Structure 1
Amino acid sequence: MNRILAWAFALLPVAVFAGDVKIVDDGNKAVVTIDGQPFTEYRYTGYAKPILYPVIGPGDKPMTRNYPMVKEVENEASDHPHHKSIWYTHDEVNGVRFWMESPEGQTIKNVGKQVSTSLKIDGDSIMTTSDWRSADGESVCTDERVIRFGTVGDARFIDYEVTWIASSGDLLIGDTKEGTMGIRTHPNLRLKASPKHGNHTVSGQSVNSEGVRGAAMWGKRAAWVDYWGEIDGDTVGVAIFDHPGNPRHPTWWHARDYGLVAANPFGIHDFEKKADGTGDMTLKSGEKMTFKYRFVFHPGDVESAKISERYQEYAK
């Protein structure tokens, strides 16, 4: 584990049992360990949205970018500060932007925040509620999340379930590529280096369930995607599964070659060059809609990790 992550976890409360998932809430974040070893934290205060950071994969490898939670890390690009490790949000919700964020110390009128309103721990899972608020503090909608942690063979996983609730009247989720279930990967899983760090080797490769590879995956529909590369001498990767019960499955992927990967079932206008608004989805007042995803942090590449087989097991 690198020094930054070791320092972060050294400050955390310790309450673990060998062989079990253990979750401890300290009032600002819920700290998750597996087999007594750090896995991740659900940080629900201090940011414009709840995030999972850091995320430690097989062999104690950090799987997501540190920036902007930690500044000036070697080989890391400092673009898109709203790409915070792992998160769930969308940029046009009743006209309010939640994917983008107001710059530090500023409040932009059309940019909202997700405010955590409750958190409960039940065994290997965190159950939360969040209020999506405009810059003026008005509630746009709410959500309920169930986030489960565990292992599958030699891999670690996060199951992330989000239920949208049209709690403040009719809810329009807009057609934009800027969403929704996102991860900003470790720099070594990028498909290309950023100009600022062009001298560093980039080992990242990727493929989706349809066999499309690399940057060509952007905007394509697929049941899953997988990214892998070499981190500290070992090949590791992260696969993201779109549950077959999700609306508009298989989802479209806002999957960039610089480390952003996001499942987005709403951005059809951008992804398929169809009429603006094609991807809009409306919930009537009081209605609910649920999406489920799985992140699998695995050793090896897509073949050795048997990602296609793991997806079939998940889909059952």
Structure 2
Amino acid sequence: MALYYVAHRLFAAHDRALGAYIAHHLARRFGPDAVFLPFCDTDEETLDHPCKGRRLFELDSERLDLIDAMVAILHGPSLDDGVCMEIGYAAGRGVPILVVITDFQVYGPTADTALRMPFPDPLLQHLVNRVISVPQLGPPGGENDRFQRFLAQNLHAVTQAAIEVVDALAGSPTPGPAMPPPSINGRRLAYLEPSPYGGDDWTARVTDALRAHGFATHQAGRFTNAAADPTLTAIADWTALAHASLAVVDIRGPETPPGAALVIGACAATGRPVYAPEPGSWWTFAHGREPNYRNLMIQYGLTGTFSDLDGLAKRLEA
């Protein structure tokens, strides 16, 4: 029996309900045992464990190692970092990935570009097998209450997305190539994922530190080379990661950028060490769970963090 993983934002009831709605449609077609729904199937609300966040990461990762396809739900320009990490994990294993979006916006690198993409990071476009986009409202209904009418139009779009997901999985999407494990005796290549938001000279300083420890480096080029085709640079970045023995990602700021989350997931799936600077953001707290400095899939997917370049050097020498 095939196993399908529904990756979705977890932190509000409407997001969990949307994940459950998609999972319900999949279960009707393929059977309830063919679907894994995080939070629901890890019993997150009532799970009792001394290190609950790590245990949830382990339970989700165990399923990610077994799945035959992933359905990921993404909305808007600020993409959920946990979902992106799970997509990276599945892509690292070569698992087919279907992404559901109901966002009516598309994205491009500049205001005057002819390029339009469904995501604000072209690496996502490269990794997914199919984008199921239902951006428009459904047909107007006959309800007298305009809010009920508007609700019905939105629910119609969600139902259409669920139907298309089921049909796509029934067609057995083709797996992609799995990322090889890191080479122990091969070239010492470090993959560097800078922040897409720019900022200080962090990238240059980390590059110098890596080279001082004998690493050649590949700096992700999707956002640094404005003249390049972002689709081709996304392919080049993913190819470089597949040849790298480790990765360093910039997760500083209020949230983890989508590309960094994808890289963390791929590294976790393939056994590559992946390091990040301490994010310097507020901590989050949830009932029964240890404090988290990031989404638990990011926090526990990382091999380790560092506070400064000396800390990175110690990680590299360990």
- Same fold? TM cut 0.5: no
Higher helix share: 2
Rg: which structure is higher? 2
Which has a greater percent of strand? 1
TM-score by length of 2: 0.29
Taking CA–CA contacts closer than 8 Å with sequence separation of 6 or more, which of the two structures ends up with the larger relative contact order?
Answer: 2
